[in-house]
């Protein structure tokens, strides 16, 4: 039997001690199948980002455990967390987190170098990934020379460099205009549908909810329900195209 991508059981997370203790997660159970595109929504302070950090091997839970693809990743000694992140996780952040002094290619090469890929091979792979997200002609541009949507597409290319099986997004469209946000989300959807990556996105952005295979609502540190996925308004959709043929935005 093939293990799910994510299995989290009875996760709790408390910050501080004694009278200053704040309970952020209060017993989360979550399963995500391989190849799913799941969105995690909820109000500010609900525990979404804390949950994403535990699933992404950034934090350990106070209690409970996490398995990624059948491997127990939490709790683990903190010294092991960077290795687990490299093995399993690609991150896409709200602010893209590209290194300003590096070109698009160099940002991806840097990520691959962390995985032990030689520079020449890493450069070829970076160029291939930039072509895949429609930015082959921007590979020598620095982040300041790219639009917000283009920077997020470089961030997606960096996230999938080295083929991590799980892509985690923390508000990846929050700082983008409507069209750029839809294009970026469509790319993440294609990674799940066509490339086999599992994608979990934390978002407040109701413009992109219709891309999800499944919506999960978290509030006050607990999963409350799985609401139905809203239908997209016709004017909000971006025509579906392959990653390789994406036009610049």
Q: Which residues, given as ranges, of the chain have pLDDT below 70? A: 231-249
Q: What is the pLDDT of residue 241?
A: 35
Q: Nearest 5 degrees, angle CA 159-CA 187-CA 29?
A: 70
Q: What is the pLDDT of residue 179?
A: 87
Q: What is the pLDDT of residue 248?
A: 38
Q: What is the pLDDT of residue 25?
A: 97
Predicted TM-score (pTM) of the model is 0.87
Q: What is the DSSP string of 63-113?
A: EEEEEETTEEEES--GGGHHHHHHHHEEEEETT----TTS-HHHHHHHHHH
Distance (Å, rounded) from C-alpha 11 to C-alpha 26?
7
| Residue pair 180/248 in contact by the 8 Å Cβ criterion | no
Q: What is the pLDDT of residue 247?
A: 32
Q: What is the pLDDT of residue 10?
A: 97
**What structural domains and CATH numbers belong to the chain?**
6-245 (3.40.50.300)
């Amino acid at each position: 039997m093939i293990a799910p991508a994510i299995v989290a059981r009875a996760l709790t997370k408390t910050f501080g001690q004694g009278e200053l203790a704040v309970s952020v997660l209060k017993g989360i159970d979550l399963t995500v199948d391989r190849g799913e595109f799941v969105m995690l929504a909820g109000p500010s302070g609900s525990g979404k980002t804390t949950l994403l950090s535990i699933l992404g091997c950034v934090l350990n839970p106070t209690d409970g455990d996490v398995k990624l693809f059948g491997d127990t990743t939490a709790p683990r000694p903190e010294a092991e967390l960077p290795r687990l992140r490299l093995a399993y996780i690609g991150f896409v952040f709200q602010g893209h987190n590209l290194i300003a002094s590096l070109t698009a290619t160099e940002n991806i090469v840097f990520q691959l170098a962390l995985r032990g890929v030689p520079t020449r091979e890493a450069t070829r792979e970076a160029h291939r990934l930039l072509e895949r997200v429609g930015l082959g002609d921007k590979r020598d541009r620095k982040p300041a020379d790219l639009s917000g949507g283009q920077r997020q597409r470089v961030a997606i290319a960096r996230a999938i460099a080295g083929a991590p099986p799980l892509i985690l997004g923390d508000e990846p469209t929050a700082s983008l205009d409507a069209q750029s946000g839809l294009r970026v989300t469509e790319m993440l959807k294609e990674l799940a549908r066509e490339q086999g990556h599992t994608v979990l996105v934390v978002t407040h952005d109701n413009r992109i909810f219709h891309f999800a295979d499944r919506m999960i609502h978290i509030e006050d540190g607990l999963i409350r329900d799985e609401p139905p996925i809203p239908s997209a308004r016709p004017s909000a959709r971006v025509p579906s195209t392959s990653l390789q043929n994406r036009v610049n935005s």
